[in-house]
Each structure stands twice: as C-alpha cells, then as structure tokens.
Structure 1
Amino acid sequence: MGRKILFITTDQQRYDALGCNGGKVARTPVVDRWAAEGIRYTRAHAQSVVCMPARATMSTGQHVRTHGVWMNGVPLPADAPSVARHLHESAGYRTALFGKAHFEPFLDPQRRFYENRMATLGETGPHRGFERMELAAHTGRGGLLHYPVWLAKTHPDAAAGFYPILKIPSLEQNAAGGGDTGAIQVQHNPIARSLYHTDWVADRAIAWLDSLPADADWFCWVSFPDPHHPWDPPQSEIHRHRWQDEALPANWPATRADAVALLRDKPKHWLDWYEGRLVTNFEAPPDFVPASVTADQLREINALTHVENELIDEVCGRVWAAVARRGWGDDTDVIFTTDHGELQGDYGLLFKGPYHVDSLMRLPFIWRPATSAGVAPATVDHPVGQIDLAPTFCAIAGLEAPQWMQSRALPTSPAQADAQRRERIITEWDSEFKGITMHLRTIYRDGLVCTVYEQSTLYPGDGSVGELYDCRHDPLQRRNLWTDPAWQARKKDLIADLYDHLPPARSPRLEAVASV
C-alpha cells in the first residue's frame, strides 16, 4: 500500500514568487511551510518553457522529443504513457485532475479533443488515466471547459468581468490594456472571490477528496490556471498589494537605452521582439511591443501577480485542511511546482517564448514527503526537473518506474543527489509561427546555462549563435559568454554533454493542429 499523493501545479509562476525562494512580496506561508518540512529544490528546470510540452513531460516522465509535444497546439497522443494510468492500473490508486490540463489544444472550435467536449457532454472522464477531470483555464468567458460552463449556468453575469483573452474572429491574443495604468491584459474583475477559478479548482478537489473512502490510495492533481496572464484576479483582493508601492525588478532596464544595450549582447530575436520588429511565437499578443511597457504598468502587472500567488497559497491551505480532516495528513506526500516561469519585466520583457534564462526555466519545486516516510527536511541544489516527477510518484506509490519513463525519482538529500550523479538538466524549445521557426537546446550544468541555436528561419545553425551564462557570477544572466575566448573550451564540453544526453527525436514528428 502506497502513500497518498497531492500534486499541486500553478501556471507560469516564477521561482522567486515564493517566500521560501526569496520572494519578498507575496505571502505564501502554506507552501513555505511545506518547504520547511520537506525538500526544496533550488535548481529545478522546466523541460520546455511553454505549457503543453511541459505538462506532457510531467504526465509521461519523458523528454519533449520523446513524447512528441514539441510546441503548444500539438496534442499529446491519446495512447501516450500516463503516470495517472499507471498508478490507477498497477496500484489501484483513485485518480483525478482539477483545473488546467492542457494536454490537448485550447483553440478547438470544432471540439475535436475530448478535453474540450467533456463539459458540454456533462462528462468528467475517465481520460488519460484520470477517473475524474473537471477543467478550467484562464477565463470564465465562453469556452468549453467545466469552469466557464458552470459559471454560465450558476452566475451568468460573472463571466463578463474577465479579460477577453482572444480577439474574435481572428483568435489572436488581445493586446488591449486596462486597470489603473492601461497595462496589457490587465482588467479589474468584479467577480466574487468565491467564484474565481482559483477557489473553484480547490472546491472541486475538496469535494472529490471528501467522496473517497477512508482507506483509498489516491493521486490528486490540483492545477491552478494562475498566475498566467491575463492579470484579472477578483477586484475585492487587489488592495493586498498597491501597485504604486511595487518595487521594480532587479533585471528591469531603467531606460530604453539600457534595454537595448543589454539585449544587443543576446541573439537578435531578443532585441527584435523588444522593439516590435518580430514576434516569434503565439505566447504574446502579436500587436504587443515590449518597449512600450511603462514602469507603472509593470508595477501594476506584478502587484496583481502577487495577489494571484497569495490566493493560490490560501486555497492550498484549504485543500490541505481537507486532507487533514480526513485523517490523511501523516500519510500524504505533497509536491508543488509550476509548468514554467514568466519574464515579468526581466530584460524589459513580459510573457514567455524562446528565451532560456532563469525567468522562464527555473521552477519553484517543493516535495513535502508524508510524515510516515521519515524523510528529513533538506535543500537540494543539484539540477532536477519535471521529467523526475512521474518516477517520483511511482516511488511514493511503491512501484518501480516503468521503462518508458526517462528519469528517476527525485533525490531527498544532497548526498542522495550526489550518489545519483545529478549533474545536468535539459530544456528544449521548438516552434513555428507565421513562417518563423525556432529550435533551442539548453543544458544546465555546474552553474552554467548553455543554449545551442539549431538551424531555423532566423539562425544558420552553424554554431555561430548561442548563449552561455555563468549563473554563479552573473545570476541575472546579463553577460553572454558565447563568443568569449576564455570560455570556448567549457562551451565545447557543455555542448558535447548536451547532445550525449538528448534522446532521439520522435519520428515522424507530431502535427501542430492549433496555436495553443
């Protein structure tokens, strides 16, 4: 009999969003307590810095090039390996997912994918090994998922308070501004907090947990859509952090000239996006020019992000109280992480894209083992990643990791990480957007981040373009060492190590059927 598993994810949350990771604004006492009682990983990296590939890795325990979801809009095959299915079929675990799944594309007006048909069919699964799925994304407006369908039925006037993410009929991301400063994708949302998707996701998880028999083993994935843009939390909560009092990030350039000088040290798509000449992917509105963002607009965006992070932490406390009320507190493992980060003003930029720096790659990553496991609290600085989650769930359940998983259970101490030779972690990016392709391969090892730019429409793929950062001496990753003569031997070694540990790419490549 294994232990119970509470797996909590956020969407687009930075490493430094949490107090335990040095965050100084949002109050996150629940997750901070889990970190103090368990293992805090300081160098957990995403295997992709965009939603669908990262979530497919969490579900399969496979590298992006193996499961094949190489960009948003590529559906994870229906027969793809699933850790939820493995737990259910091999160990009798009850399984559920509440909130954002995103294993299948959101832009699906024909409802080709079951995630987008479930709610209107009145169904909650089973799907991908989950006995029950109740789904939400970033809005209560329209949509096909359970949350907007529920909101339309029970509180039809509330949906209009959400920011309209897409422009209709073009289905491109909206660049309109709002709030006090006119900041992009900001809206003051009059919805009651109890109706907002953060609380709704927690409510649905608690209801399911309360329905289980006392002796059940269970795997419950609670997947919050925030703090991903748009930034439109309940207006009743925004008093928590006045944007006027918000400090600007350390990596925010003070002037446009400072931003240009900083970005000229990086491959050309950085500065081209900042100045509005190029949009390389769907992850930001095509009309958005990052250089147009004012300091006050960034302050308002970041203040609302802090609010959203606090709301998540508070409902984590509610879910945990429900676990404890059932008498499961000593026998439940909690793992808390996110799918990827957010630029949030670093380098003068917002959102995400083909930018392999800590803002996007480095994840909050907490494992609070069950008390019954007898694991001592620890901080692990060795590199780990999302690819390690599925085998960790197997270990908690007392199962051997199946051969299709490409990693192993997370180490519970620095000594165990040393024994496992935890030396590197790999991140990939592939995208096609309006004729523009991008292909990045990145290794983190020995405090260094090395990114190879493979052949694309923007770059020749001849080894002349890339990025190399020394995170220990340049934690903000401002100085690109790629062409520095003193670093060429180290760069060559890192590139060889990267390609030695990349598995073969899936063939044939899966088809992208949507943008997101």
Structure 2
Amino acid sequence: MTNVVVFLTDQQRWDTMGLHGNPLELTPNLDRFAAGGTFCEYAFTNQPVCAPTRACLQTGRWPTQTGVYRNEIPLPTDADTIARRFAAGGYETAYVGKWHLAEMDDAPVPPELRGGYEHWFAADAVELMSDAYDAKLYDGDGVLHELPGYRSDAFVDAAIRWLSRPHDRPFLLFVSVIEPHHQNSRDAYPAPDGYRERYENRWVPSDLAALGGSTQQHLGGYWGMVKRVDEGFGRLLDALRSLRLLDDTVVCYTTDHGCHFKTRNGEYKRSAHDASIRIPLAFNGPGFVAGGRRPELVSLLDVAPTLLDAAGLPHDDLPGRSVADAVRGATDWPQEVYVQISESQVGRAIRTRRYTYAVTAPDADGWHDPAASRYVEELLYDNVSDPHQLANLAGLASHRDLADRLRERLLARLAAAGEPTATIDPAPPRPSGQRRSYPL
C-alpha cells in the first residue's frame, strides 16, 4: 500500500516558485520535485483564508458545506475527514504543525477536535502562541513542547522524528508549517537571521510593483521565509529517501492561500485576485512520476480525492476530482475554479483560464453570514491581456455579454455547492472606450 505525506505551507504565493518564473531560486527543492512529478500549473484555493481552506483540505468539501466558512469556527467533531477515511482503510494517521480548525488559540486541541488523527503533535493558531525562534507544539496528551531552532525547521524535525519510528501499517502524515505567514503580534515576516537581507531590494512581482501596499516593508522577509521552508521540504524528502520510503510514498506540496501584501484590501488575503487565490501545488510518487506540467484548472477541493485515489480508497462522493485522472488522460475537466470568500465580504468568484469574475453581497456581513441571496458584480479581469489584474473590466459595455455568461456559470457553481438560490446584479455600466472582449 502507498504511504501519503502532505506538506502544507501558509500564505505562499504561486509565483514564489522558480517553475512559475521567480528568478530568486527560492524553491529549488520544490521545483525539482514538481518537475519530476505532476505540477499543477493552474492551481487555486477555494477560500483565501486559513480555517475554511483547511476544512476543505481535511474533508474535500466546500467550506459552506462543512460549516467552517470563516476563521474561529471549529471543524465539526463528526466531520468525515481524510484522517478518518484513511484510518478506515487500514492506515496510520499523524498530524504535525498548525491545525487552525479548533478555535483554541494557545490552548491544546482536545482529541475530539483533531479531525480523527491518531498521532498528534500540533497546535491550533500557531501564529498566536509561537514565534520564529520560539516554536511550540502540543503532544497528544496536551503537553506543551518548546522546540529548538527556527520554527519551520522545528516542525519538519518533528515530522522526521515521527517518520523514523517503526511503522507496521501504511501511513498518512500531514505536515503543516506556518511559514511564510506573517507574525500577527508584530505584523512582520520574520525570516531566519540573514535571510531577509539576502532578498531585500531584489525582484518584485509586477502586481506588487504597481500597487505597493506593504511590499517594500515585508517582501524581503517573506522571500527569506519561503527559502527556508523549501530547505526544510528538501530535508523531509531526504529523510523519506534515507528511510527507504520515498519510492512507496505519494507526496503533495501545497499551501492554503496566497498573499497580496495589502494591495487589494487592508491585509493579505480574502480577495478574488490571483495574489490571494493562486497557489503552488505539486504531487510526486507512485502514479505521479513524470506526470508533467498539467494545464488543467485544479483547486484544493481536488486534493482530498487525489490523496484517497493514491491510496486506493473511495472518493467518488466528493465534489472534487483526483488529479491522477488528468495524468491518466481525462479530458472532461472543469473549465473554472469556484471560490468562496468570507470575513472581508460575502463574496463569490470563478476563475477560468482567461477570466476572473467576482461578486460581492452588499447586504451581507462577511463574519456572520455564510452566504447571501443577492450579489453585485465587483471584478472582471482578462488574465491574458492583463495578467497582473490591474484593469477591472466590470461594468464595461464591451464586456456585458461576457459578464452575463460568466454570471450564469457562477450561479451554476453556487447551486452545485448547495448554496441558497441567489441573484447577481450587474455592475454599474461604464463606457468601453476602445476595449473589446474575447471569447471564454
């Protein structure tokens, strides 16, 4: 039977990867891993904030279906998680690192809120109870452990210690580091000593260069955090190799959402822009070796069925698709990714290969309302002619027919996700000038 390891980072932009064009050589281990396996070039989160995305990853269901549509809502104790599905299939299950699905802040997560994981070395809101050189996690008995070294290194070390134990069953190991998420207590990106200095005043993605935000304050540290995380990922792969587990293990690398550095709203995510929703995603191991650079639109909703498929476990009841289907030649792949947005707004969006179409609910509250009955068009981007999403086309007369077609596709996705019936009002009309639209 195939082992499965998931390596989850936090708030990592898609263009941190060399395979996505980053010239700083931040991710040589991830790039090599993805190039030799299956690299999902167009991968997106379904909810650009921590807890809802993590609920999606653990269950394979929409955040509004699990009830975890925003932060500070615990995952239901009876949730049908991948841990419980793998355990039912004879697997040993373990979780290391950030959980953020129990609303415990700095207290240990009780067993009933651990999603069914058998082995536990984790904490809930890691960003609130630890720091870059003050790493802490709780064991399965609720005992707090202070860990030596830089925080992502300490979490990787803990995962390697668990891998080094004798295992008489195949296993699912979920490793969740907090980096490159900002340190909430001081609104900083604390890279290891010397790493921020290495990357300051160097390459800046075009959206950040155009819009500013907190880029000059934070980007050097952010790049440094990404570099150190990649080094830790390389050590984890080395450990699997030295333990003679690598050839029998499917490894998935991804993140929960991106980071726009206060360019799209007052913080770092919670928007429909690619800086928030486009993410790194790659698989390697049995069934994924030499899978290539995949052109399909893939989302984090597809991760659970992919992992279950890799282990030969049932997954047909889940709304996502196994990426292995694409590797095996499936052509009936969805033509858009559906995104739910909470907290900053009650928002919904679809991302096709060419277009981003997003709506917001003016009469709903992003903290208290999981969905709405009325939305208004907010954003329309042509991601081919405007890859950095600087020109909002919503309301232009030239794009009215296109927006109408995207509206119908978005309403269909709301219905498929089991959301209440809703309407979408057009954006206020604007003259087009010389602009024109292109086919979907």
- Of the three residues 175, 179, 190, the one matched with 1:222 is 175
TM alignment of 1:434-449, pairs within 5 A:
438-449=345-356
Q: Percent identity?
A: 26
Secondary structure of the structure 2 residue equivalent to 1:241? helix
Secondary structure of the structure 2 residue equivalent to 1:20? helix
1:15 aligns with 2:17: no
- Is contact 1:94–1:218 with CA below 8 Å preserved after alignment? yes
1:356 aligns with 2:269: no
- Of the three residues 231, 236, 239, the one matched with 1:322 is 239
Secondary structure of the structure 2 residue equivalent to 1:310? helix
Secondary structure of the structure 2 residue equivalent to 1:381? strand
Q: Deviations over 1:322-352 (max 9, x none)?
A: 1111211211111100000000364596522
| 1:134 corresponds to | 121
| 1:366 corresponds to | 282
| 2:56 corresponds to | 57
Change beyond 3 A, Cα 1:412–1:299: farther
- Is contact 2:288–2:327 with CA below 8 Å preserved after alignment? no
Distance 2:46 2:265 in 1: 24
Secondary structure of the structure 1 residue equivalent to 2:290? coil
Q: Deviations over 1:96-117 (max 9, x none)?
A: 1111111122447xx5xxxx34
| 1:514 corresponds to | none
- Of the three residues 360, 371, 378, the one matched with 1:453 is 360
Which stretches of structure 1, 4 residues or more, deviate above 4 A after TM superposition? 141-145, 149-155, 345-350, 411-415, 457-464
Change beyond 3 A, Cα 1:488–1:416: farther
Structure 2 residue identity aligned to 1:209: L
- Of the three residues 218, 221, 229, the one matched with 1:304 is 221
TM alignment of 1:504-515, pairs within 5 A:
504-505=418-419
Distance 2:360 2:216 in 1: 33
Distance 2:34 2:249 in 1: 15
Give the C-alpha shift of residue 222 in structure 1. Answer: 0.8
Change beyond 3 A, Cα 1:235–1:101: closer
1:425 aligns with 2:340: no
Change beyond 3 A, Cα 1:346–1:22: farther
Change beyond 3 A, Cα 1:484–1:463: farther
| 2:425 corresponds to | none
Does 1 or 2 have the higher relative contact order (CA < 8 Å, sep 6+)?
1
Q: Which runs of 5+ in 2 are unaligned?
A: 367-371, 421-440
Q: Deviations over 1:269-292 (max 9, x none)?
A: xxxxxxxxxxxxxxxxxxxxx5xx
- Of the three residues 454, 471, 475, the one matched with 2:383 is 471
| 1:383 corresponds to | 297
Cα root mean square deviation, aligned? 3.1
Distance 2:265 2:80 in 1: 39
Give the C-alpha shift of residue 447 in structure 1. Answer: 1.5
Secondary structure of the structure 2 residue equivalent to 1:363? coil
| 2:261 corresponds to | 344
Structure 2 residue identity aligned to 1:387: L
Secondary structure of the structure 1 residue equivalent to 2:241? helix
Secondary structure of the structure 2 residue equivalent to 1:201? helix
Give the TM-score, by structure 1 length.
0.71
- Is contact 1:323–1:329 with CA below 8 Å preserved after alignment? yes
- Is contact 1:440–1:453 with CA below 8 Å preserved after alignment? yes
TM alignment of 1:41-440, pairs within 5 A:
41-89=40-88, 91-107=89-105, 116-117=108-109, 127-136=114-123, 137-138=126-127, 139-140=129-130, 145-146=137-138, 194-213=148-167, 216-230=169-183, 231-233=188-190, 235-238=192-195, 241-243=198-200, 245-252=201-208, 293=214, 298-344=215-261, 346=263, 350-353=267-270, 355-370=271-286, 373=287, 375-401=289-315, 403=317, 405-411=318-324, 413=326, 416-417=329-330, 419-431=331-343, 438-440=345-347
Change beyond 3 A, Cα 1:389–1:299: same
Q: Which runs of 5+ in 1 are unaligned?
A: 119-123, 156-193, 260-289, 432-436, 507-516
Give the C-alpha shift of residue 424 in structure 1. Answer: 1.4
Structure 1 residue identity aligned to 2:249: T
Distance 2:288 2:252 in 1: 16
- Is contact 2:196–2:223 with CA below 8 Å preserved after alignment? no
Give the TM-score, by structure 2 length.
0.83
Distance 1:85 1:329 in 2: 24
Give the C-alpha shift of residue 420 in structure 1. Answer: 2.7
Change beyond 3 A, Cα 1:125–1:33: farther
1:485 aligns with 2:397: yes
Change beyond 3 A, Cα 1:451–1:424: same
Structure 1 residue identity aligned to 2:159: A
- Is contact 1:26–1:309 with CA below 8 Å preserved after alignment? no
Q: Deviations over 1:8-66 (max 9, x none)?
A: 11000000011122112252111111111111112111110000000000000001221
Structure 2 residue identity aligned to 1:250: S
Give the C-alpha shift of residue 413 in structure 1. Answer: 4.3
- Is contact 1:378–1:412 with CA below 8 Å preserved after alignment? no
Distance 2:297 2:260 in 1: 21
Q: Deviations over 1:389-443 (max 9, x none)?
A: 111111111112152x2222114647835x2332111000122xxxxx7211101
- Is contact 1:126–1:133 with CA below 8 Å preserved after alignment? no
